[in-house]
Amino acid sequence: MRLFCSLPSPFARKVRALAAEKGIALELVVVDVLDPASPVAALNPLRKVPCLVTDDGEAWYDSPVICEWLDALPGPRLIPGEFATRMAVKRIEALADGVMDAGVAIRLESIYAGRAEHERSAGWMDWQWLKVEGGVRELERQLGERAWFVGDGLTLADISVACALEWLDFRLPDRAWRPLAPRLSAWLDTAASRPALASTGPAQAA
C-alpha cells in the first residue's frame, strides 16, 4: 500500500502512527500538494493528503477514513467496536483534527508565497488561533487526570491529539498552547515517547 503524503502533515502523521501501532507497512510517496502536476490530483479530487492507495488500486481519503480502513486490518484495534466508546474516540479525533485545521490555516496564511506581506490577515490568523485555544482547553478538560483519552489504553484519540499538539510545537512555536493546558502538556511529553509516535514525529520531517 502507498500513502501519498507530506511528511510534516499532522494528518498524514496520524495515519502513519496508526499504521505503525498495527504493524502495517506503508510505502510513503512524498508529494507537494501545491504543485499542479502532483500525482495526488489524479487520486483525490480535493488534491489533499494523506491519500492511501491500496494494493488493488483503490484510493481512500481523508485521514479519518484512511484510519478506519487501516484499523479494520489485522492487529490491535485502535478504534473500538462498541458504539459509545467508538463515538467517544471519534469525537476526540474530530476535536484534534479541528485544532490541526486551524493551525494549518494559520501556517498557510503566514507563509504562502503567492501573497504579499501586507495582504496577510493578522486578524484572521488570530481568529483561527481562538479555535486552537478552544480545542486545547477542551482536550485538557476531556483528559482530566487519566492516562488515556478513552478507556484504559491507546486509541486513535490519543494518536490524533499527540499529532495535533506536536505539530503546533513544531510549526507555531511562537503561539504557545502549553500554558493553557498544563496536564495536557505533561501528557504529551509522555505520549510522544511511544515508538509509533517518536518514529513519525515532526522533527523527522525537518
**Model confidence, pTM:** 0.95
CA distance linking residue 79 with residue 59, whole number of Å = 21
Whether the bond into 50 is cis, omega within 30 of 0: yes
Tally the domains of the chain: 2
Please check whether residue 50 is in contact with residue 4, taking contact to mean a CB–CB distance below 8 angstroms: yes
pLDDT of residue 206: 55
Please check whether residue 75 is in contact with residue 25, taking contact to mean a CB–CB distance below 8 angstroms: no
Does residue 137 fall inside a structural domain?
yes
- 112-125 pLDDT, tens digit per residue, is 756 777 778 889 99
* Spacing of C-alpha 151 from chain mean position: 20
Q: Domain ends where: 71, 96, 129?
A: 71
Verify that 105 and 182 share a domain, yes or no. yes
Verify that 162 and 122 share a domain, yes or no. yes
Task: Collect the ranges in the chain with pLDDT lower than 50.
Answer: none
Please check whether residue 133 is in contact with residue 174, taking contact to mean a CB–CB distance below 8 angstroms: no
pLDDT of residue 169: 97
pLDDT of residue 117: 75
Verify that 104 and 184 share a domain, yes or no. yes
Residues spanned by the domain of 47: 2-71
